[in-house]
Amino acid sequence: MKTLICFCFLFGYLQISSAQTYTIPWAQQQPAWVFPLWFENGDGQKDTLYFCYDPDADYPYPDILFGVTLIHDDPLLFSMTFDALPFNDSMHLKVVAFTEDVLGGGVSIFSQSPVLPITLRWDSNILYSDSIPFPDLDPAPRAEGHMWFDLPTYVDSCNFSDPI
């Protein structure tokens, strides 16, 4: 019985630990670090963006090797995209892959046909991964995010007196 319990515990631990590794489904080669951002629209539609690092990435140019390409979406459905690239309403960039020298510059994320509220989720365990190319600046953060919304009124989430 003890052997069975140990085996079940080990199997469960391996399932949890392996769940922390993510891949880009259509990439020919996986970047060194993949950070998925999962979005859900107010009416239940979902979309995923992949924020990535690889020392051999070709940012800001489309790098099909790592999945950085324009994806055709239905322009009437909820969809998320990186950056304000010149494309029509049915083409979206779902992956950005940075090298270390430009990773700190960040990206902009845009939504198409949103129904509020939009829920953003991520795996916080990845933020503590040793594979993140930023130096460990403990106790300061290794990276940070800023959000703002261009709605009828500009709302800057760094100003916590404004509702989001």
Q: What is the count of structural domains for the chain?
A: 1
pTM metric for this prediction: 0.73
Predicted local confidence at residue 114, as pLDDT: 84
**What is the domain extent for residue 103?**
25-120
Indicate whether 143 belongs to any domain.
no
Indicate whether 100 belongs to any domain.
yes
pLDDT band at 13 (very low <50, low <70, confident <90, very high): very low
Indicate whether 29 belongs to any domain.
yes
pLDDT one-digit tens code per residue, 31-76: 988 999 999 999 999 999 999 888 888 876 778 999 998 888 888 8
Residues 6+ apart with CB under 8 A from 33: 52, 53, 54, 126, 129, 131, 132, 133
Indicate whether 163 belongs to any domain.
no
DSSP 75: T
The mean per-residue pLDDT over the stretch 69-94 comes to 80
Indicate whether 68 belongs to any domain.
yes
Indicate whether 79 belongs to any domain.
yes
Indicate whether 156 belongs to any domain.
no
Indicate whether 139 belongs to any domain.
no
